[in-house]
Structure 1
């Protein structure tokens, strides 16, 4: 059945004509089909429409991540008293995709890790991690909204919170001889706009519930 549905690079379906991802989709389909034949995969390749939708979500997430990094970098340049996000730091160093390891979750890559670069006496440097979510929550209400936000907050804490073993070599001089450091705060930032629920009171209640259920994680919308 999959071979009969095999896409052709020269015959895109209506709506895909001229789309640069059509060739990528054909290559993806062929690779997955080969893996199935070799017994290396059991899941069928996506059809074109969900594949294109998936890449749309991926691109939206990357755009949101770039926006947040730009906001953090601009915030770090402000006097400490004027900062919106990084007021707890004296001299914040913003790093992307830092490898962090925990016994429970293994090696992960934090969207952003911020470490105190200033010279402070005693103890480990201040470390905060940031996880960005471009998730469409506009269709969720009540218990379903709360449950999703609590699940996301718990995942962020488990992967990027508590005590982390920071694996990036360039950061070791700031860690004062110990790569395992406590994380003071995990930030879970959702993309706002049309992706967030329209009911402001319900949204605020869900955010407060997630914060109380998962201490150590700051949940917010941008």
Structure 2
């Protein structure tokens, strides 16, 4: 069946004509078929509509992440008293995709890690981490909303909270006791706007549930 459904580069369906991702999809499909034959994959390739939807989610998430990183960089340039996110830092250094390890997880990459560059000698630097999520919560009911946000908050704490082992060599000079640091704050920031839950009460209940599941995580919508 999968062989019969193989996409042809020169024959895209009507919805894929002139779409630059069609050739990417054909390559993806062929690769997944090969993996299935070799036994290295168990899931069949997505249909074109599902693949296009997945890539759209991925692109939206990357765009939101870029916006948030830029907002943090602008925030860092403001006078300390006027900052929205980084007011607890003297000289915040913003790093993206930082490899970190905790006692509860293997190697993970924090969306953003902020570390203090203005720490006095011998004083552990302040460290905060950020996890950005672009999820469409607009149609979710309260139960599903709570479940997803609790899972996200718990994951953020497990991967990016507590005692972190920073793997990036360029940051080692800021860590005074090897590469282990204590994270003072973990922020989980969701994309807002049209993606936010429509029911304000459901949103507040879900945020409260997430904070109960992971008290050390600050949950926000941007």
Deviation string 1:189-210 (CA, Å, 9 cap, x unpaired) is 0000111112223312321332
Question: What's the RMSD between the two structures over aligned residues?
Answer: 1.2
Aligned to 2:74: 74
Alignment of 1:40-189 (within 5 A): 40-189=40-189
**Structure 1 runs of 4+ with >6 Å offset:** none
Count, aligned residues: 222
Gaps of 5+ in 2: none
CA distance in 2, matches of 1:14, 1:133: 32
Structure 1 stretch displaced more, 145-154 or 58-67: 145-154
Deviation string 1:160-215 (CA, Å, 9 cap, x unpaired) is 11111000000000001420111111100000011111222331232133223311
**TM value normalised by structure 2:** 0.96
Deviation string 1:42-65 (CA, Å, 9 cap, x unpaired) is 211111000000000000000000
Deviation string 1:88-139 (CA, Å, 9 cap, x unpaired) is 1111000000000123210000000000010325431000000000011112
**TM value normalised by structure 1:** 0.96
Alignment of 1:17-56 (within 5 A): 17-56=17-56
3-state SS, counterpart of residue 70 of structure 1: helix
Is residue 2:196 matched to residue 1:217? no
